[in-house]
Amino acid sequence: MLTQRQGLVVWLHSLKHAKSLRRFGNVHYVSKKMKYVVLYCNQEDIDSVMEKINSYSYVKRVDPSFKPFIKSVFENSRPDKAKEYDYKMGF
């Protein structure tokens, strides 16, 4: 079965320790300019992983992603009349 995943944004003081975060989940992206790591882990373990990661001295802060909780099915979305007219014209 597929497990629910959730992203974490880990802000670091130095990127030297970015590789050590791989044991907590899948490292998806590392920003060298802004010094953060996007990490995906299981949704059930998100609180314990955040506490463990936040306890390290090289971590500034840890932010969870709220994407699993945002509704992605939109209701009552009607197209704009001006755009609909443009599509009929062939622009």
Domains and CATH numbers, the chain: 5-69 (3.30.70.80)
Please say if the pLDDT value at position 73 is more than 80.
Answer: no
What's the confidence (pLDDT) of residue 88? 61
pTM for the model stands at 0.76
Give me the DSSP letters along 35-62.
Answer: TEEEEEEESTTHHHHHHHHHTSTTEEEE
The one-letter code for the residue type at 75 is E
What's the confidence (pLDDT) of residue 15? 95
What's the confidence (pLDDT) of residue 67? 85
Q: What is the pLDDT of residues 23-69, one digit of tens each?
A: 999 999 999 999 999 999 999 999 999 999 999 999 999 999 988 88
